Structure 1
Amino acid sequence: MSPPVTEAQQASGTTVPITVEDYQGAPAYFAPARFELAEDENCLSAIRALAKASPHLVLFNRPANYEWINVTAREFVEEVDEVARGLVAQGVKPGDRVILISGTRYEWTLMDFAIWAAGGVVVPIYPSSSASQVQWIVEDSGAVLAVTETREHTDLLEHLVLQSDGTPQLSGSPSQLRRVFEINSAGVDTLRFEGRGVEEEEITRRGENLRQDDIASINYTSGTTGKPKGCMLTHYNWIFEVRAILNDGIGALGRPGTRIVTYLPLAHVLSRAVSLAVAIAGCTQAHWSDTSTLTTALERFRPQLVLGVPRVYEKVRAGAYRKAADGGPIKEALFKRAEATAIEYSKALDNPDGPSKLLQARHRVYDRLVYKKLRAVFGGQVEVAITGGSAMSSEVSHFFRGLGVPVYEGYGLTETTAACAIGFEHQVVGSVGQPMNGFGARINDAGEICITGGGVFTGYWNNEKATSEELIDGWFTTGDLGEISETGHIKITGRKKDLIVTAGGKNISPGPMEEIIREHPLVSQALMVGDGKPFPAVLVTLDEEQLTRWKLDRNIPASRSIAELATDRALQGEIQDAINLANSTVSRAEQIKKFRILDRDLTEEDNELTPTMKVKRNVVFERFAEDIDKIYTR
């Protein structure tokens, strides 16, 4: 029986049965699980059960021989078993770690299940990882085999492969890597061929012997503050997360016939969790790795479910504005009015009376003129969009909800096997939702959000010290600062490690102010500085496409560099406007006093951004130390 709904929940309109319990004198908020797991249930057994019950269900649409073909549930499981036999033939034993470094493609998901079917542990690596990051993960995990996508990836690993005498080629390396299979060089077919001599019964036996407390994967954190740590995620963690997703409100889309384009890196737990969930639910999934042509994929597959980091939605909005502005002042003015109406309409949805009749009429007009075209960017069939990985601007959230593509913000970490909170069943813009079913949340004495539940990891690989520091009595200390309302809605206010303490002793959480500044079309990144300094300041990078248009509108030569423009009064005025808006939300002591425009944007290639677009603050601050010094010496 579900627990009673509180008065606060009734007032807010939420249907999530959040329970509140006392934990060491402070409230803890729990959402009871709406599902039960069998003792032998895991993601592999779930996909096998689906294939047995609905063998002809189309799970994947994949490229082959210059066309796209369907892959049924039975065909997928048969291929998984063939590849798994190849892994066994290569000597992979239960518990052995296998590296998987590849872009988002069908073979990634195939290898994921095949490694599990062989009894192995998947160790995903982002395809954009540097050589030092790859080496660290290979050596730290003790992986015995690797599956890569490209020659470039293979080259990163070759010097770590053991020589014929069993010693590492790289002197002093503890690598245990024996062989590399490259997808683009028929690596999957090679595994299938080499597995012909392995009995099917061996794969069946290994699958049946999987236990829920066995490690399923070691996912390394993005390493924004140091070396990546390997999160041990069990088979229980993964199937719990999948069932939690499918039994939450958003799980209504988890049904045969639903289409989804998976394009985010599958090394990221959120992308992988959603991909696993929709596969096990019987949805039809297409993989796409080239984000520069994502709109082509969306138009082709017309998905009902879209998953993206906030930057994706921000770029869609910015691109729509640029297109309108390029059409002349009338179209630009039309877009701005339509955008303002969408935001106003969305905000009115949160009021008891809802949008006024006049606002509804305006909204219908702009729906025909503008919103319908914007929805077409996503394929025209999107019912639900999800975002996670970092904070999303409230204005952007309202904009998309107002135009008919509600973007539901979720919250989770590698250590929680992706989502542990989501705002689907009662969206409150500005929060990351309530605990997802089967999870609990609380705020500790340091103001940090702590999470418990079936998705919480078992600890860090080869790092007991970090495990004991961050996993206490089943609660994971996230390092994110936040608040939880009476209805269980979680609001992120910053990162504990990002906290700025000025020379005057003022504590400032930079996240909310940076988010406001980034809303300005010209701004790509904004990083507040001021730790130990007399006042807060901010480093700003510019969006190249918006800057090109800005120069064109003012007859400024396209060749004029950012360094040359940094002192331009008009440009500085634009940035100051954004900072003034952020300053209006805080006390005088917290306000940004100065800013500096950096001469280029931050990139993942320069190790300044993680693959999920989080800023590596320590790297940026070290790299642009001279720019920071100039703020405080002039």
Structure 2
Amino acid sequence: MREFSLPALYEVPADGNLTDIVRRNAAQHPDVAVIARKVDGVWQDVTAAAFLAEVRSAAKGLIAAGIQPGDRVGLMSRTRYEWTLLDFAIWSAGAVTVPVYETSSPEQVQWILSDSGATACVVELPGHAAAVESVRERLPALKHVWQIEAGAVEELGRLGQDVTDETVEERSSLARADDPATIVYTSGTTGRPKGCVLTHRSFFAECGNVVERLRPLFRTGECSVLLFLPLAHVFGRLVQIAPMMAPIKLGCVPDIKNLTDELAAFRPTLILGVPRVFEKVYNSARAKAQADGKGKIFDRAADTAIAYSKALDTPSGPSFGLRLRHRVFDRLVYGKLRAVLGGRGEYAISGGAPLGERLGHFFRGIGFTVLEGYGLTESCAATAFNPWDRQKIGTVGQPLPGSVVRIADDGEVLLHGEHLFKEYWNNPAATAEALADGWFHTGDIGTLDEDGYLRITGRKKEIIVTAGGKNVAPAVIEDRIRAHPLVAECMVVGDGRPFVGALITLDEEFLGRWAAEHGKPAGSTAASLREDPDLLAAVQAAVDDGNAAVSKAESVRKFRILPSQFTEESGHLTPSLKLKRNVVAKDFADEIEAIYAK
């Protein structure tokens, strides 16, 4: 057993709540832009004083509508300014926010609103309103549904015109630090999602210590962050609340479809995202270079960036020749890549899945350091992250200051700290199992080095045991294979089988480019090319690269390219894009059998 901890850098208020943040910002930084909204495609700053006024106005409407202290209020929307506004308004009315993924099915909406006992729900689009309406007869506690695109914020403002500021102040101060702030329903790779109760204390401990440990990235009046993660996910909430605590300017966009344009317009100094975002940046840049006949130059530049980053971790540092090559490629390639990322940023924080060492070294080598972290819904997002001044690429960093990470005798990662969740809503049995002996049992397998840096090597429940008795952690090789631009998803199989195999889906965007470059018919799809020798060879190269990270017994011997992608709509991915392995295994049982057919 091994454990590591760091002293807290932030003192959690003894009895405050998250509404204190917006009031403090308005009092101490009234004219500082703490958030920005898009109006007719143009970013407009909102000062701390103006944001507080809008929060109060919406809170008055909720109070006038009969929302009581402790009531649960659903919030189903894409990431946008109004999500953050309403989140703080719900807290200011003394209520508890219950996020609902905007992609949720009516059945999922019904479960979350019913299980939480929500008395009201704010949705964004007509489709969201229709989903709620279709199950409303099974939601007897639900009294109100407001739609953002139909003027919900304005309606709440009119509704609360007769509610006084004093009433809002009284409601805002009711919640104590250990009261629920939100109930976040876990994505649920198996079974029904559990409602994870996160308190105001959880967010103070989490966001306060993140901001203080990464203070150079959160300089008030200088720094900004662009949020494009779903706010129904706890990582998105961290990205929302931490900038408010700093405070630095926060911008919200609904997705990453036009991320390059959004980055260029907003020009954030800090980006928080998931590995797929950074993989896309790299793969898109490489594909563009190849299309322009500069593929070899890009590859040499990438190799130089990686070598330069690795040399930074050696006592002697980069050699003179390497520094010279790096300077040349900085003018030719790296500067353009940094411009794609907004042109002002030097750091990003990545979570949600492993980033991969090669990609980590590449980005640090171009002058844009991606700090990898690790966390769960139950740990209020990050429970470990790489510090800005002492990064160890390949790890998920050191514990959140003020918390403890322990590695149990069986390798499971255990957590302790104020940032942890309080309970699973209406589920005492699951709570007791997860919080045994005062420690949260994550279900992840990991190691701690002598400096307290954590590596995650797999999930306890996902360990594959081959017929030969070899234990295989799928994450290591899956993440390496998935880093290839052609690969969208990879799922390793082999439990009870003679060797390890894999199911692979293809990235539709890059498949089209690959097909054109290799003379394949226009409109070729994964289904039409899955037996194509050239494509099989290209995917085999990705598999070979993945195999290089593991032992021979753990390596993928055979694979199958699937004709379609895993998606949330197909039921194979959770809203946070995690594989539902049992569903994939069931739906593609014939493909798995084909791997092992003689």
TM bracket (short chain):
over 0.9
Post-superposition offset of 1:67: 4.2
Post-superposition offset of 1:561: 3.3
Q: Distance in 2 between matches of 1:265 and 1:354?
A: 39
8 Å CA contact 2:481–2:546 kept in 1: the answer is yes
8 Å CA contact 2:106–2:135 kept in 1: the answer is no
Task: Tell me which of 301, 304, 307 is aligned to 2:272.
Answer: 307
Q: Distance in 2 between matches of 1:571 and 1:448?
A: 39
Post-superposition offset of 1:65: 5.6
Post-superposition offset of 1:362: 0.2
Secondary structure of 1:292's partner?
Answer: coil
Matched, 1:358 2:333: no
Post-superposition offset of 1:574: 1.9
The residue type equivalent to 1:42 in the other structure is N
Post-superposition offset of 1:238: 1.1
The residue type equivalent to 1:231 in the other structure is C
8 Å CA contact 1:160–1:177 kept in 2: the answer is no
TM-score, reference length from structure 2: 0.97
Alignment of 1:125-274 (within 5 A): 125-161=100-136, 169=137, 173=138, 175-250=140-215, 252-274=217-239
Task: Tell me which of 307, 322, 330 is aligned to 1:367.
Answer: 330
Number of the residue aligned with 2:581: 617
Instruction: Label 1:296 to 1:480 Cα distance change in 2 as closer, same or farther (>3 A).
Output: same
Instruction: Label 1:620 to 1:54 Cα distance change in 2 as closer, same or farther (>3 A).
Output: same
Matched, 1:104 2:79: yes
Post-superposition offset of 1:562: 2.3
Secondary structure of 1:556's partner?
Answer: coil
Matched, 1:282 2:247: yes
Task: Tell me which of 467, 472, 494 is aligned to 1:508.
Answer: 472
Give the root-mean-square deviation of aligned CA atoms.
1.5
Task: Tell me which of 492, 497, 505 is aligned to 2:456.
Answer: 492
1:17-51 CA deviation, whole Å, 9 max, x = no partner? xxxxxxxxx33211110122332332211220121
8 Å CA contact 1:81–1:203 kept in 2: the answer is yes
The residue type equivalent to 1:200 in the other structure is D
8 Å CA contact 2:201–2:418 kept in 1: the answer is yes
Instruction: Label 1:368 to 1:251 Cα distance change in 2 as closer, same or farther (>3 A).
Output: closer
8 Å CA contact 1:51–1:77 kept in 2: the answer is yes
The residue type equivalent to 1:376 in the other structure is A
Post-superposition offset of 1:174: 5.3
Number of the residue aligned with 1:429: 393
Q: Distance in 2 between matches of 1:154 and 1:90?
A: 18
Task: Tell me which of 45, 50, 54 is aligned to 1:75.
Answer: 50
The residue type equivalent to 1:573 in the other structure is A
8 Å CA contact 1:41–1:239 kept in 2: the answer is no
Q: Distance in 1 between matches of 2:426 and 2:216?
A: 35
Alignment of 1:524-539 (within 5 A): 524-539=488-503
Secondary structure of 1:505's partner?
Answer: coil
Q: Distance in 1 between matches of 2:356 and 2:525?
A: 29
The residue type equivalent to 1:438 in the other structure is G
The residue type equivalent to 1:207 in the other structure is S
Q: Distance in 2 between matches of 1:139 and 1:254?
A: 41
Structure 2: give runs of 5+ residues left out of the alignment. Answer: none
Mean Cα deviation higher: 220-229 or 114-123: 220-229
Q: Distance in 2 between matches of 1:261 and 1:578?
A: 32
Matched, 1:581 2:545: yes
Matched, 1:475 2:475: no
Instruction: Label 1:551 to 1:142 Cα distance change in 2 as closer, same or farther (>3 A).
Output: same
Q: Distance in 2 between matches of 1:103 and 1:455?
A: 26
1:563-603 CA deviation, whole Å, 9 max, x = no partner? 33222222222222222233333333222221101012212
Post-superposition offset of 1:624: 1.2
Instruction: Label 1:334 to 1:227 Cα distance change in 2 as closer, same or farther (>3 A).
Output: same
Q: Distance in 1 between matches of 2:57 and 2:486?
A: 51
Q: Distance in 2 between matches of 1:196 and 1:506?
A: 67
Task: Tell me which of 339, 363, 375 is aligned to 1:400.
Answer: 363
Secondary structure of 2:390's partner?
Answer: coil
The percentage of counterpart residues that share the same residue type is 47
1:117-161 CA deviation, whole Å, 9 max, x = no partner? 000000011111222211110111110000000001111111343
Structure 1: give runs of 5+ residues left out of the alignment. Answer: 1-25, 162-168
8 Å CA contact 1:245–1:251 kept in 2: the answer is no
Mean Cα deviation higher: 460-469 or 520-529: 520-529
Number of the residue aligned with 1:44: 19
Count residues with an aligned counterpart.
597
